[in-house]
Structure 1
Amino acid sequence: MNTSTVTSGTVTSSVTEIVVPGKVEPEGLEIRTRELPEPAAGQVVLRMEATGVAFAEQQMRRGKYYDQPPFPFVLGYDVVGTVTATGPGVDAGLVGRRFAAVTKTGAWASRLLVDAAELMPVPDGVDPAAAETVLVNGITAWQMLHRIAKVRPGGTIVVLGANGGVGSTLVQLARHAGITVIGTASPRHHTTVRALGTTPVDYHDPHMYRQITDLAPNGVDAVFDHVGGPALEQSWQLLRKGGTLVSYGTAATKDDTGNSRLPVLTSFARLATWNALPNGRSAHFYNYWAGKRCTKWQARLNEDLTQVLNLVAAGHLVPQIAARIPLSDAATALTLAESRTVLGKVIIVPDPHDA
């Protein structure tokens, strides 16, 4: 393994990356090797210890993720790894320390360049795969629950897809905060979802929303909906007065053809219309990247991830890892994640020769 601390000169190291060349099935992903240049000013080299498969990568390979780069590019929304080199202007003391970073693309690689300002520390003793599982998922769940919906202890919420990466994290954060959770999931996951403290409802049942209404006849304090599409209105109808709908995805339209931005823009319009109604309820579309230009944005991410990782370290939040699959077998990892048969998040780890 070629690693070194770099502040000047020309140093390169070989990097293996998973490239999506165009609109392909998972088996169409390409493994490429190239030389990684030395980090520029303000950058570090991060040796990947864990990255993951999220809905973002699933949509990007279809060319359907909102604001994705043009093909070809390297997949990988987020990463946990150890700094192996620093560029000019970066504290060399970062070398050997573990950090998390959200990259949007580029993390499915054995090594990658990351801006030092975007690094978030991972506490000693927290497994890299565990930290990766709750990185974007944990920040997303924390911000939706505590910064947007602001559900108080004793409240009741609905989590669609309670077996998923965000869903299973959101369930645990809510239960730790003293909130009752109704969660939708396939029957195969009901035992596990119930063990997380959730009342499960079968999302295949055509009367799913009626079942939820029976469980919470006075309405719920918040609904967290990653599905979108026409059923988003039914999620809205579940709310009590003062309740909050948080939409954070458009999974219902993942296979639709046409403009990839249209489902998101349609959701924006519907949520805005509902917010204009004088009924005391509110609707939001959660966007992880909203406010990135604000000087406090990165500080909020660090603060929220710290809260989440502290709960992991204390055993209050158990990351749901569906599988650990080597980088060179990323196609299998993507296929498994897209199968909708897993509980939690599929994690990509280094190949043995890169570990």
Structure 2
Amino acid sequence: MNAVERVEVVLPGRVEPEGLEIRYGQPVPVPGTGQVLIGMEATGVSFAEQQMRRGRYFDQPPFPFVPGYDLVGTVLAVGAGVGPDLLGKRVAAMTRTGGWASHVVVDADDAVGVPKGVSPAEAETAVVNGITAWQMLHRKARVRAGHTVLVHGANGGVGSILVQLALGAGAEVIGTASTRHHDALRALGVTPVDYRGADVPARVRELAPGGVDAVFDHVGGRSVTHSWRLLAPGGTVVSYGSAATRDDEGSGLWPVLRLLGRVWLWNWLPNGRHAYFFNVWAGRALSRNRFRARLRGDLTQVFAALQRGEIAARVAAELPLARASEAMRLAESGTVAGKVVLVP
């Protein structure tokens, strides 16, 4: 790769993974005031990009654009107003879009230092996935020792971090996954439930007759209603996606609006239970400084847990940026545990 040229992956429209375009020889962007230029070392394939290629992510930009929800890399240049001490430092950043490129400009205040001893791919698994898991567990559900929690998709990018953080907090964890992942979940201390071959609500009620203290649901649709009904008094359901509607036609906003409507209604019921629709960007428009401070503090906590070995990075596969189509197919296959990572 020529050091003075940028390589980027472009999502040109609603396409199959093979429709992603690789563009070489693009000019390297120059950081403006308060910005830094990052040489990407790892970026991930998340559920957001899977929805974006279908045109179903609720606030995605118009086509064409460069996807990429987060990245890890080294600061190559700084703009005016940014101290030179950031040069050469490895940092992580959430971008929402734009991360699938060899060189990316972000605001310096959005760059969070990556601790020594954590590789770029390892750190990448814990950026948006780690922030999502940490904030849902500690800021929304407030899980603590003695609680019993249910994690849907316990083998996935967010789910695999969620179960480890919940176990670290002293909770009992029930996790749904296909049977091929059950042995790995048991090894962690998770009680697995087959989401394909079992009546999940009935099985969870057998395991937790009094209900669970928290459910983390990325499925959406009917699953969220089942999750609500599985709660113990005072319990919390946190919905953070709509995987069940990923392949639906029509508006990508409607499933989100329905989830928000259910959450609003449930929170009005006088039964002491709580419901949230979680989005990691919530509150950014109201208070950018508070959002940044919270993100920096929470991601630093996640990286520290990763560095100490309290959570393990689950890298499903590392593929070069030029094989983004293959990476997307793999991430959507449902056959891998953890996160598919793209590298330069």
TM-score range, shorter chain: over 0.9
The Cα offsets for residues 8-27 of structure 1, whole Å up to 9 and x where unpaired, read as xxxxx310000000000000
Look up the match of 2:189. 197
The separation in 1 between residues aligned to 2:240 and 2:224, in whole angstroms, is 11
The Cα offsets for residues 96-144 of structure 1, whole Å up to 9 and x where unpaired, read as 1000000000100111111111101111111111110011111110100
Alignment of 1:334-349 (within 5 A): 334-349=328-343
Residue 118 (str. 1) matches residue 114 (str. 2): no
AA aligned opposite 2:341: I
Cα displacement (A) at 1:205: 2.4
The separation in 2 between residues aligned to 1:41 and 1:306, in whole angstroms, is 25
Look up the match of 2:78. 86
Look up the match of 2:309. 315
| SS of corresponding position for 2:312 | coil
The separation in 1 between residues aligned to 2:161 and 2:128, in whole angstroms, is 10
Contact 1:242 1:280 in 2 (8 A): yes
Contact 2:157 2:337 in 1 (8 A): yes
Tell me the TM-score normalized by structure 2: 0.97
Look up the match of 2:321. 327
Tell me the TM-score normalized by structure 1: 0.94
Look up the match of 2:19. 28
Look up the match of 1:68. 60
Q: Which moved more, 1:295-304 or 1:68-77?
A: 295-304
Look up the match of 1:135. 127
AA aligned opposite 1:90: V
The separation in 1 between residues aligned to 2:95 and 2:223, in whole angstroms, is 31
The separation in 1 between residues aligned to 2:159 and 2:294, in whole angstroms, is 21
AA aligned opposite 2:295: L
Match of 1:105 among 83, 86, 97: 97
Cα displacement (A) at 1:230: 1.7
Residue 305 (str. 1) matches residue 299 (str. 2): yes
Q: CA RMSD in A?
A: 1.0
The separation in 1 between residues aligned to 2:226 and 2:316, in whole angstroms, is 30
| Residues 96 and 2 (structure 1), Cα distance of their counterparts in 2 relative to 1, 3 Å cut | farther
| SS of corresponding position for 1:73 | coil
AA aligned opposite 1:183: G
Contact 2:151 2:217 in 1 (8 A): yes
After superposing on structure 2, the runs of 4+ consecutive aligned residues of structure 1 that deviate more than 6 Å are none
Look up the match of 1:51. 43
The separation in 2 between residues aligned to 1:334 and 1:231, in whole angstroms, is 25
Cα displacement (A) at 1:89: 1.3
Contact 1:172 1:197 in 2 (8 A): no
Match of 1:296 among 283, 290, 293: 290
The separation in 2 between residues aligned to 1:205 and 1:235, in whole angstroms, is 18
| SS of corresponding position for 1:41 | coil
AA aligned opposite 1:342: V
| SS of corresponding position for 1:163 | coil
Residue 256 (str. 1) matches residue 286 (str. 2): no
| SS of corresponding position for 2:93 | strand
Look up the match of 1:19. 10
Q: Percent identity of the aligned residues?
A: 60
